[in-house]
Every structure is written in C-alpha cells, then in structure tokens.
Structure 1
Amino acid sequence: MSLPMCPLCSEDEDIEVVRSLDGGRRLVKHRCGYEWEHGEPASPQRQPSRSFDDLKARFPKPEDVEPERLERAALLKAQYLASRPDFDPGVAAYWAKYQQIFSLDGLRTCDPRALKDFANSEVGAHPGNQATFNSVWNAMGDAAAGEMTRQTIEYLLYGPDEVPLADRLQALLTGSKSFAMTGFKEALLTRVLCVVQPDRFLSILKYTTEAGGKREIARLVYGLELPAPESVNWTLGRLILWSNDLLHTLVGDGFANQQHAAAFLWWAKDQPGGRL
C-alpha cells in the first residue's frame, strides 16, 4: 500500500490511521484535520476510468438546483444586498497592484518579498495559516524561494497552452513539478487566480473545509452534493475550477465584484434553512 498524502495539503507527514475499513482500505487523518479513505480495495474489481467529458457531464449543473432552493437563495441575496450593497473599495487597488506583479514582466522583475507578502495578506481573500510556506521560504532565503514561487505562479498562469488550467493547477497541488514551491498550495493558487481573473473567480479559496469551502456552500445554499476530492478520476484541480464556475453562475449578477459575491455566499451558508 502506498504512503498516504493529504489531498488538500499535498503533505505525507503527521498522518494517522483513524480506523481500518472493509476491503483493505483505511480512514486516515492529516494534522490539518482533513480525513479521507486510503488504499486499494482488496477486490481486483476496479472502477472503470472515465473520460474528461464524461466526468464534466456528471458534475452538478445550475439546472440541478431544486426550485425551492433557488427561491430561498434569491430571497437571501435580496436581503444581503439591501443591507450590504457594496464591498471594500480598497480591495480593487490591491488586486490591481498584483495584477501587474503577476504579469509575465512583473513576475520576472518584482521584488521577491512582494510574493511572500501576497501569501500572508488577507486583503480580499483570507488564505489561512501559511506556516509551511513561510518556514520553507525562510530556510531557502528570499532569492531562491522567490524564484520557485515565481516559477509556480508563472506555470499556473502561463504554462503550456496544451495543458489545461485545471491540469496545471493539479500538478502544482500534487507537487509533481520540481519547481512547485512547498506550501504554495490550494488557497494561494486559487488566490492568484482570483487576482488575475477577478471576473471569473470567487474568493472562496478551498474546495472543501470544515469552515466552509465551495463544496459545503453548494450543499448548504443550493442543496447540491459535489464530488468528494478523493473520488476516483475527480482531480482536485478540476473540482476547484468546476465548483467555482458553478457557484459563479448560480450567484448571478448584482454584486460589486466577485469578492462581494463570495462574501454573500459565506453569509448565506450560515443562515437558517441550510442542511448538512
């Protein structure tokens, strides 16, 4: 049995076995709190591989939301916009600054500290504790860590055209690229996308988390059950993008920007009437 690696953090340290499961699999838990099933089934029967188009077709769509859920979400949206019609204008200036830094020329000439500062900033989207990234950065030094972070962002945004964004994102999440900066994972990679494509990406930086990621918001606000990230053939990179686009479509217009829309979804998931 291969060593387990946390699908969210892409780390294989501090993983404990919670309990053994039928069929030779185990429920394991990472120090970040995420739990998942690990190991190959004892049975030789394996779930058949599915094509990209088949997987995308099976992913929940806006039309899958029940009418009463749509009505509830619309009422919550009207209530939210009536009390909070705008968003912090300071975010736009910060986003504009980093749009320039994340351009090809900006990445190649920026002060490395600007990249570290981005990883630890809460402006517009809170990436959470970045202890791993900061520890590795400090050990490597500004020059070496800045170069790896630059290459990571450059590959995400400007990687080979023949490699779809979801697959570039997945490669960086799993660390399969030698230049992938340790600790610059899902929250930070998604935050980069929020900055560079602010009309598309909601500032909800995790696919699934106890505090509420895209998967939890889809369930609580719209009654949709999105796939578990450890499901066979569902890569986390695809799930991150597909869930973002689904929520972007469902939340609709009327917000000042995507940060405003994301703030509504964060609020809406905690309103009475949702379900776990």
Structure 2
Amino acid sequence: MTTARIDARFAALKAEGRAGFVSYIMAGDPTPGEAAEILRGLPAAGADFIELGIPFSDPMAEGPPIQRAALRALKAGLTLRGTLAMAAEFRKGDADTPLILMGYLNPIESYGYEAFARDAAASGVDGLIVVDCPPEEADPLTDALDAEQVSLIRLATPTSDDARLEIISRRTSGFVYYVSVAGVTGVKEAQAVSVAPAVERVRKASGLPVAVGFGVKTAERAAEIARVADAVVVGSVLVEEVAAALEANEPAPTRVLAKVKALGDAVRSARLGARLTETV
C-alpha cells in the first residue's frame, strides 16, 4: 500500500516544524461550477490537505451547516460519480495536494467497492474517510482500496479506549482523524488542553500522524490545536461561508477562500508564535 502524497506532505510539514491545515468542502455546494472553483483555489489559499465531502441525504455525524450543504449539493445534482469527476478535474491542475474523500457507506456500497476504489484511484484520490463504516466490517472495502493504493483513514474519538484504538489502527494508513468532541460537527469547540493527551495516545497506538477536527471554529482555536496536533481540520465554518454568500447574493468562492486563508495563516504560524514566546 502507498500513501505517497499524504506521507510526502506530512514529511514536508515536519521539516517545516508546523502542523498542516485540512480544509473540508462539500462537492457541488452551492453549484458544481462554484464548488470546482473553490476546490481549485484551496491550495493557494493555504490548504495543505483537502477533504471533499460526498453529498449524502443522511449525514449522521454532521451538524446543521454540513447537512444543509449536502442538501444543496444533492439539489444541484451532485452524485458520487460527479464527486469523482470533480476530483479528477482538480488533479489535472494539482499533482501534489493530498485529496481525501469523506462520506458515508451507502453511496459507496451502491457503487461497488472494487469499482469505487478503481475510479477513485483513477481520479487522483489519495484517501477515504467513511464515517459509518466500523473497523469490524471494513475488510471488503479496505481490500478494494488497498488493491488500488488508496488509504482508508479511520476516526478515533474521546471515547476510544486503548483496546479500541488498537482495532482502529489496524489497516489504517495516511493519518488518523481524531474527533475532538462528542457529538456532531460544528456544534462544540475543541479544547487544546484535552486534545493534547488524546493526540499523543492516538499517535502511540497507530504510529501515524493525527489530524484533529469536529470542533475548530476560529483562527485562534485552529492555532491552539495546531500546537498539539499534526494537522487541523476545519469544515463547518467553511460551508457556513457558502450559506452566507448565498444569503448575501455574493460569490461563494471569494468568501470561502478568504476564510481558508485566515485559518491557514493561523495554523501555519501557530508554532512559530509559540517558539518566539519561549525565547523571550
């Protein structure tokens, strides 16, 4: 199995002495054209990794902002095939940025594991997060992804004890996504004081970098988490910018990419600020 782009990006971040910024957007939100424009602009705005949401009608782990984004995308006609087409178009212009799909099992199962893995790899997808696929039931999907050298990235949570982390870590590659708060996305805020020991525990169990998400809403919070995690994931506040743009009749890409830049700058400079403080 290879995770070349993901591994290379984490190695580069380690050499720079900083955490990575993972930006999440929903494929097709608010329209396929605008979503594609946002996707193209993410690396230049500061995204080190991209999570591209697969629109689904029952996203159980998501709070209202991402639920509404999924419904907008579905209304705009986005499907799993359309999401893969977006990924392929993005990859034509960007050979380096790791691209991870995030979604739910039903559309992938309907597509067929082998066919999905083959088409995802052909589209330049590096990894997959499936929120509702427990490790105990993941072997058929993992087998298909391994055959195409696409990483399956698992979720760990505050309730994952050591025994559970051992199970989560099996056949996981690229990184582990640590869900920093109990509940759905975009509701509670992550706290660095509780995240730091959890990140260390997940790193030790998995031997992989740890990206923290599900509770990062502001640049200040992103910087705090960036000081203790290998990467910081932000999603809800970005899709909220889409909703705000629609309400204000403004271009969604402009608003989203401006927010990405602010958050990315905070993550990029977080450890530098800490080092400067230590030397004073």
Give the number of the structure whose alpha-carbon radius of gyration is greater: 1
> Larger % of strand: which?
2
Question: What is the TM-score normalised by the length of structure 2?
Answer: 0.29
Question: What is the TM-score normalised by the length of structure 1?
Answer: 0.30
